[in-house]
Structure 1
């Protein structure tokens, strides 16, 4: 179940990356496995040749992991 959730998450992330021309976006997903429920929320925006994103993941134990990134051309 975890592999399915991670695979779905990666595919969703790649899909979001392909839509980098959008000004702003938000995506979220929830997965339930044998250890509980995990969630991920991603937000991002693009302006003036620069795009940024913020991703927050929360695991079944309540641990939270946040990652941010910016890319410019």
Structure 2
């Protein structure tokens, strides 16, 4: 349940914040749960019909992973 809450909180924050500027953006969030604190940083930009994004997450145990993606029309 806590994992669902933290994920929803982070995704909701990033979704609302990303709508403010579609060309280039950076967002971050921190959530604290019973196992510790997690951090999320997301960056993205759009140019010439292509949009890219990169999301880095660090869990309470210090494990970090990054996901990147590109969409073109």
TM range (shorter): 0.7 to 0.9
RMSD over equivalenced CA pairs, Å: 1.8
Measured in 1, the distance between the counterparts of 2:7 and 2:37 equals 13
Off by >4 Å, runs of 4+ in structure 1: none
| Structure 2 gap ranges (5+) | none
Count of aligned positions: 71
Deviation of the 1:8 alpha carbon: 1.4
Give the 3 Å change call, closer, same or farther, for CA 62–32 of structure 1 in structure 2.
same
Measured in 2, the distance between the counterparts of 1:20 and 1:30 equals 20
